[in-house]
Amino acid sequence: MPLRETCCSVCDFILEYDTPRIVLIKNKKVGLINRLVQLVILSYIIGWVLIWRKGYQDFDSIVSSVIIKVKGVAFVNSSGFGERLWDSADYIIPPEQESSFFVMTNLIRTENQTQGHCPELPKNGFNCTSDSNCTAGLIDPHSSGVLTGKCVTFNEGVKTCEVLAWCPLESQTVFPNPALLGGAENFTVLIKNNIRFPQFNFSKRNILPNISASYLKTCVFNRTKEPYCPIFRLGDIVRETGDKFQELALQGGVIGILIKWNCNLDRSASECVPQYTFQRLDNRNVDETVSPGYNFRYAKYYENSAGKETRTLIKAYGIRFEVEVFGKAGKFNIIPTMISIGSGIALLGMGTVLCDMIILHLLKKRNYYKEKKYKYVEDYERGIDDADDD
């Protein structure tokens, strides 16, 4: 072909169009395989990418705030306490947390502790026979205080090292059984959850618009009957995780309250509703011997009539509920749609790769097809002569 002289080669470049030359082979076997592969890829694109993964939508992640309010009172009548009523100001510790709350279900209380000297509890390393067993000033990670260096009588027949500590020491080593605040099973918690999808300027809350104030005063969440009531009975939450409340209440644990908002904003906003699930988050195994369950110690401080600081130490067992909100919203948008379709078309090329392998290597007439598909160009001068082979 002689080179055509053009006055304007840029115009030429702009106005020309190049497209690959194609060899179209009429072979039933390969044709069928090709179409089958293309069908698989097409159904992957349409079924998985577009429909299932909603490749035509733009997504936004959730912004959320949670307000929690626990209601209920528990009545305790034990030898240690006498008759005592516990309300939310008593059993929620600390009174405010960002998106979790702790409900005390069991406790060991040591009253009227003051700074003073008392015999250490008889445990490994603190039993003694004479003062020489007790190093004054020693602080052991397992001791309750600092050793004074004296060996004193703990009780009949047992002598232990004396410590400077909050005395009397917490003596009760076994938690009350049944749990003192087992009545927490009937406490209810109102969870107010406001969500926003900032990109779509969409906001909603878990108290749905059709929920009336009077309904909210009486309803209790029930997975089948009241799936949108935002008031949960603690006993129901624990039951759904597969545990028994009264067993869990003994030693405590951690439970997740998961709120999932998966919203398709191409549909009506009223279909964007929360979905609640409950999950035990800590280890269920109670055979664990190193501080199983969930507990911590806190103290209430007083000044006694002599002006000396005293405290009531409480080892609180209980359930920590962690509220976690997650989810995403999708809405039709042309850019992700184009990208999904584009990458789908690119994938269609994969079919050709596979069929080329078959046609060029496996079929009997592979050499015939090779000749049709390929044009061999030699790098020699003589190559110029015999290259016009098609």
Among 7, 8, 10, 21, binds its own copies (CB under 8 A): 21
From 21-29, 128-136, 150-158, 260-268, span contacting its own copies (CB under 8 A): 21-29
CA dist 232 → 49, 56, 191, 228, 322 (Å): 38, 37, 8, 10, 14
From 52-60, 240-248, 264-272, 297-305, span contacting its own copies (CB under 8 A): 297-305
Among 332, 350, 362, 366, binds its own copies (CB under 8 A): 350
Residue 254 in marked binding region: no
User: Does 7 sit near its own copies (CB under 8 A)?
Assistant: no
Q: CB–CB of 128/134 below 8 Å?
A: yes
The residue behind tokens 């080179």 is 3
Min. distance of Cβ 16 from its own copies in angstroms?
A: 5
Among 97, 246, 264, 337, binds its own copies (CB under 8 A): 97
Beta bridge partners of 117: 164
CA dist 109 → 80, 113, 253 (Å): 9, 10, 19
User: Does 345 sit near its own copies (CB under 8 A)?
Assistant: yes
Site for its own copies in 202-221 (CB under 8 A): 205, 207, 213, 216-217
Residue window 149-188: x/- pattern of binding to its own copies, with contact defined by CB under 8 A = ---------------xxx----------------x--xxx
Among 8, 79, 94, 130, binds its own copies (CB under 8 A): 94
Q: How far apart are CA 321 and CA 253, in angstroms?
A: 9
Min. distance of Cβ 371 from its own copies in angstroms?
A: 6
User: Does 1 sit near its own copies (CB under 8 A)?
Assistant: yes
* CA 337 to chain CA mean position, Å: 30
Residue 76 in marked binding region: no
Instruction: Give whichever of 31 and 80 is closer to its own copies, judged by the CB atom.
Output: 31
- Provide DSSP, 297-315: EEEEEEE-TTS-EEEEEEE
Backbone angles phi, psi at 48, to 5 degrees: -85, -55
Q: CB–CB of 205/194 below 8 Å?
A: yes
Both tokens assigned to 114: 């003051």
Length of the chain: 390
The residue behind tokens 């999904």 is 340
Residue 353 in marked binding region: no
User: Does 95 sit near its own copies (CB under 8 A)?
Assistant: yes
Q: Binding-site residues for ATP, please?
A: 69-71, 188, 295-297, 315
